[in-house]
Amino acid sequence: FPSGSVRMVPVSSTDMDRLQDISIHIPSFLKVGPERVTLSSVFTDWCSKYENFPVYQDDTWVVTYPKSGTTWTQELVWCLINDPKSPEAKLELKKRFPFFEFDSLISLDLDTTDIRKDDPMCPGNTWHIVQNLSAPRTIKSHLPKELLPKQIWQVKPKIVYVCRDPRDVCVSYYYHYIREHGYKNTFNHFVQLLLDDIMVYTPFWQHILNFWKMRHEDHILFLRYEDMKKDLAAVVRQVAAFLGRDVNEEQVSWLTHHCSFEEMSKNPAVNYETLRMAPTQEAKEIKFMRKGKVGDWRNHLTKEQQKAFKQWTLKYLQGTDFPYYQDYE
């Protein structure tokens, strides 16, 4: 069934069986658009709003597949555009750099008893924040290229896209779903959902490759999580230049420290510890900013899972010029 110009179909009954216990917040799932992106069925209520959302030249969007360094990049971008020592900088990131499509990921029937009324995680709050942002606006999204607002490709605001090794994404996403969605199935089950392009926001590789193909366009900056970990100061300068912000070495040093994992993990404005109660006891023991490491997949993936990731990766990257994440022994 169509919603605006976007076609949607329910996931197959087999896939629905595999997805039924991944989230206490999502009632059912759809395959959306020509690339059949897996999203919550709630997306039908929001698709037209997102598709026709007005975009402005001075917007800055951070777009990623989930768990690819999104929050890290948001804080860096916000601090380069705004005064990082202002009172506004202490506001929760979800209020000053909202998650564009968040309302489409949760059921309107979500129990909000234990959630603050101003929490962006309350249904409808994020859309209100997005609509009332002051210019220059900073907006985050995990939507793939095809589902972002149509005006993005006409107006061409700045877009910072970040990718990350899918093996580390998978591990981080797994813990995220335990923490935020009450996921109770096995890690192996989660791995297969990602590799089979059934997990929310998959297909993974199309998400990355569609932006990789546009990386030379003036309004798009393509970054890698691993490069941010390797030399954050260099990335600070790179992002500042892309955004047209002049920064001196003292500012670069301050931003590098402020945006370090150690500092962000204890910063209540960005570590999400102030937002909503965790759904399970196990979830309460997991931090939103858990490790932030490169290569943590080696501590989680079995030999069989590593082999499956290799076959999956090489299948999608065959014939492309994308050079990363193919370091399989």
Catalytic position from the list 25, 142, 176, 258? 142
Strand-by-strand arrangement of the 29-32 sheet: 2-3, 6-10, 29-32, 37-40
Q: What are phi and psi of 3, to 5 degrees?
A: -135, 105
Clarify whether 142 is annotated catalytic: yes
- CA 324-328-329 angle, to 5 degrees, is 145
Q: Could you tell me if 268 and 249 are in contact, meaning their C-beta atoms sit under 8 angstroms apart?
A: no
Q: Are 126 and 120 in contact (CB under 8 A)?
A: yes
CA 268 – CA 124 distance, rounded (Å): 23
d(CA 25, CA 115): 14
Q: CA 19, CA 3: separation in Å to the nearest integer?
A: 23
For the chain, the distance separating the N- and C-terminal CA atoms, rounded to the nearest angstrom, is: 44
Q: What's the CA gap between 300 and 285, in Å, rounded?
A: 18
Alpha-carbon distance values, 153 to 7, 56, 96, 120 (Å): 20, 11, 23, 27
Helix H or strand E encompassing 167: helix 166-181
CA 289 – CA 262 distance, rounded (Å): 9
User: If we measure between CA atoms, which residue out of 297, 291, 21 comes closest to residue 178?
Assistant: 21
The residues that are catalytic are 142
